[in-house]
Structure 1
Amino acid sequence: MNESILNHLFLPHYLPSSVDDDYFLQNNHQYEHMILEYMKEYFNQLESTKETSELPIFSALINCVKHWSILQNPQTCTEANLQSTIMKLTPGNFLPFYFHAQNAAILIEIEKKNVHRPLVSSWQVLLPTQEITSSLVPHFSCFPVTTYRLNDRSQLSSLAHCELLVDFMRNTIEYSKSYKASPQVNETRNLPESYYVCQWWIQQFEGIKIKSKSNRSIQFKKKHRDQIRWNGALLPFRRSGLWMTIKVVFHIILTKRLGSIGIIIYKLLITHFLTYCLSETRSEISIDVLIHCIRKIVRRLNKIEILLSSIDANDLNEWVQLTKHQIQMKINKILPKPNWQKSIRIYEKSKY
C-alpha cells in the first residue's frame, strides 16, 4: 500500500505496467479510496496540533474530506449514506464525487446565501489513452468548469437521484468504440465515456440554470502528468483519477474562497501533504525512490517561492512561512545521510 501511494503521488521510475500490480488499482480500483484516508489522517494530524485553526478555510476542506471519504469507499457508498450526507450538508459545505466507472467527477456546493439552490458542476477526469500516448506535448484541462444552479435542493437528496449516483459509482455505462474486422467492439482497455456524468446528469435536473461567472473566479489549468505503462497487460497502469480530482477540488475551493492567495495556500497544502506521506512511508521504500520524491518536493517549494514574490500573502503570511519551514524541517529529517551511496555499495558487495 505504501508503494502504491507513492506511485500515484510522485510517479517514480519503474511504475507497474498493469493495474493488477498496483494495490490501489487492482480488483477494479477497490482500494483507490485509501488516498482520501491518507488525506483524512493528514488533516487529523494538523487538527491535533491546532494548525488548522489559523486558516478558517481548513474547516471546509476537513468537512469535505470527511464526507467524501465515506462515500468514495465502495464498502460504505450506499444510497442511504449518500442521501443522509446530502441532507446534512450545511451552508459553506462542498461534496465531491469521483466516478472511476465513468471517468468523471462532480462537485456539489451549498452556498451560505442560497442554501436551497445548490451549485453543481462536472468534468472528465483523465484523458483517453490515445491522447496521452500520441503526443509529447503537455496536456491540460481548464478549471473551473461551467457551474449550474439547481432550482430545488430536494432534487439532490431524492432517493432516485442517490440511486443514480451509486450506480455511476459501480457500473460503467459506455466505453469508447472501435472497429476490428468490421464489428464494433467496446475498448474496455481504454477509459469509460464521461458523457453521462458530464452532460446527461446535468441536463436531467428540472429548472437548472448556468451560474453567472463571478469577478473573483480564478481560472487555472491542471496538467495531466499521467504515465501509461502497458506491457501486454489487460488493463494498463494509469495515475489515479481520484488523486487528480482531489487536487482539482481543493484548488477550486481555495481560490473561490481566498482569491489569488488561494493558489499559494493550495500549492503549499499539497506539498505539505506530499511531505507527510513521504515521511510516513520512508522506512519501507528504497533510497532511490526516496531521493526522487524529495527532489519533487524541493522543486515544488522553489516554484512556490517564485509565486510568493508576485502575490501579497498579507494576513496569511505567518501560516505560509510556518508551513514552508515545517516542510523543510521534515525534508532535512528524512534526507539520507551523506554516506548513503557508500552504504548501498557495501550492501551490493555483501550479496556476492
Structure 2
Amino acid sequence: MPQHPNRHLTDQADLLYTINHVFLPLKLPQGSDHSLENDLALSQAIFDAALAFSDQLPSDKLVLWSSSLKMLRNFKDSIRFSVMSAKEVESQVNSMDNNDVLVYMIRAQNAAVVMRKLESETIFESFEMSPDPTAVMGAKGRLICSYPGPAITVPDTIANDATFHAELANFLACMDKDVLDAAPTRKKAKSTVLEERDTTHPRHITKLLTSILRGLGSIADVPRIRKRIGDDVLWDSAKLPWRRSPLWLVIRVALQTTLERGALGRMTYKSFMLFFMARLTTLALDHDLSNNILHFMSAKIARRLFKLGSSASPQLSQMISMVTGDVRSILEERWGSVQDAQQVSPPWAPENLQVLRDAHLSLNTSRKYIHQVLYNQHSSPQRSPFDPSHHVGVVPSSRGSLGIVRMGSSALPLP
C-alpha cells in the first residue's frame, strides 16, 4: 500500500521544484530556481522516502539499507546552511564505522566528495556536480558520464588520525565557500562583463584534493557507473539559466554506487527511485496539479515499472498500479467535466445583446475598394488593336486541296 507522502512538501512551490528536477517534465522554468530552501526540501523528501522504503524490504536487508539511511541523514545535515560547518563534518567523519559512507557537496567548487570507510582503509572519491553548459547544449540527446571521478585510498593509520580529520573538515568547509577561480568574462556591447552562467571547474577538488590524498595513500581501483545525464540550459529574460539540481545528481550517484557495491544491488536502487517518484505523484494528486504534469508523472513511473519487470516486488507493483489508477481516474473525471460543459447550450438572453457594438467592423485598409464598389468606379480595361506582323499565303496541299500557311508559324490545313 502507498505510504503517506512527504509531509515536508506541503508548499506547492516546493513540490513543483522537486517534480521539475526529479521528473524533468516537458515544460520547465526559463530561469534559475535554485535556493537553499529548495535543496533542503528535496533532500528531506528523499530521506523521508528512504525511511518509508524500509517497509518494502525484507528483514534480512534492513541492516544493509540502514547504511544508506545514515548517509542520507548526514548529507541532509551537512547542507543545512549556506556555508558548510567544519565542526559538523569533523563530527561525522569521527563517527564513521565500517561500511559507512559520507557524501558532501562542495558548492563553490562544483564538486562532490564521497568517503567510504572500509576495514583497513578509507576511499575518497570525487566528481563534478553540474556539467559544463557548452557540453550540455552541444550534446545530441543526453550526456553520458562516468562516476565517480578520481579515487584515492588512504590507510587507516592516517585516515583514523584526529588531526587528519580536523584538517580534512577544515579544507572541505573552506572550499565550500571560497571562490578561487577568476570568473569567466565575455564581450557585450563593446565592454567586458562577468559571465555568471558558466559552471565552476572542479579542479580544486578533483585535482588538488586528489593530489594531497595521493601523497598519503594510493590510487584506488573502484567500480564505476555510467549515467545518461538529463540536463538543460534554459534562459529567457532571466539573470541565470535553469539547470537541473546538482544535489539530485549527487544523491543518485552516491546512492547507486553504494548499493551496487553491496549486497542490495542495482535493482534495489531502481526500486527506491521508482518508490520515491510514486510518492511524489501521490502528493501531486493532493495538490491538484495540471493534467499535463499528472499524465507525464504517471507515464514515467509506469515505464520505470515496465523496465523493472519481474524484479519489482509485488508490493511496489501494487503501489504503482494504485497511483497510476488514481491519476487516470482524476484525468477522466476532468475530461468528463469538460465534455459536460461543452454539451450545454449557451443561455439565450437577447436583452444582454449589444447589436451595434458587436456588428461594428473595423476595415481600416478597405476604404478605397469599398468606395469603388459602391459607386461603380471600376475602370474598364483598355483594348489594344490586333495588328499581326505575318502574311497569309496559299500553297498546294499534299492531298490535292488548298492549305493556308501563316509565314513564321506552323501550317494549319483547311478542312
TM more than 0.5: yes
Q: 1:13 aligns with which of 15, 19, 26?
A: 26
After superposition, the C-alpha distances for 1:196-252 in whole angstroms (9 at most, x for unaligned) are 111111112342211235xxx4x4311110122101311101010110111111110
Equivalent in the alignment of 1:312: none
Larger Rg belongs to: 2
* 1:288 has 2:281 as partner: no
Q: For residues 156 and 276 of structure 1, do their structure 2 counterparts lie closer, same or farther at Cα, with a shift above 3 Å needed?
A: farther
Identity of aligned residues (%): 17
Query: TM-score, structure 1 length as denominator?
Result: 0.82
Match of 1:53 in 2: 59
Match in the other structure for 1:230 = 235
The answer to which of 269-278 and 281-290 deviates more is 281-290
**Which position in structure 2 is the counterpart of 1:77?**
84
Q: Within 5 A, what are the aligned runs for 1:61-210? A: 61-74=68-81, 77-111=84-118, 113-114=119-120, 117-151=121-155, 152-153=158-159, 154=161, 158-174=165-181, 177-180=184-187, 186-205=194-213, 206-210=215-219
> Distance between the aligned counterparts of 1:296 and 1:139, measured in 2?
20
Q: Is the 8 A contact 1:71 1:82 kept in 2?
A: yes
For the residue of structure 1 that corresponds to 2:262, the secondary structure is: helix
- Residues 139 and 75 (structure 1 numbering): CA distance in 2 closer, same or farther, change over 3 Å? closer
Are 1:331 and 2:336 counterparts? Answer: no
- Greater mean deviation of Cα atoms: 139-148 or 149-158: 149-158
Q: CA deviation at 1:183?
A: 8.5
Residue 40 of structure 2 is aligned to residue 33 of structure 1: yes
Maintained 8 Å contact 1:30/1:74:
no
Contact 2:145 / 2:229 at 8 angstroms: preserved in 1? yes
Where does residue 266 of structure 1 map in the other structure? 269
CA drift at 1:67 = 0.9
Structure 1 residue 190 displacement after superposition: 1.1
Residue 341 (structure 1) aligned to one of 290, 312, 335: 335
What residue ranges of structure 2 are gaps of 5+ in the alignment?
1-13, 347-415
Count how many residue pairs are aligned between Structure 1 and Structure 2.
324
1:251 corresponds, among 256, 267, 275, to 256
State the alpha-carbon separation in 2 of the partners of residues 333 and 267 from structure 1: 23
Consecutive unaligned residues in structure 1, runs of 5 or more = 309-316
Which 10-residue stretch deviates more, 135-144 or 171-180?
Answer: 171-180
Checking the alignment, whether the CA contact within 8 Å between 1:175 and 1:193 is kept in structure 2 is: no
Distance (whole Å) between structure 2 residues aligned to residue 333 and residue 172 of structure 1: 48
Q: Distance in 2 between matches of 1:103 and 1:212?
A: 24
**Amino acid in the other structure paired with 2:178:** N
The Cα RMSD (Å) is: 2.8
Partners of 1:101 and 1:30 in 2: CA distance? 17
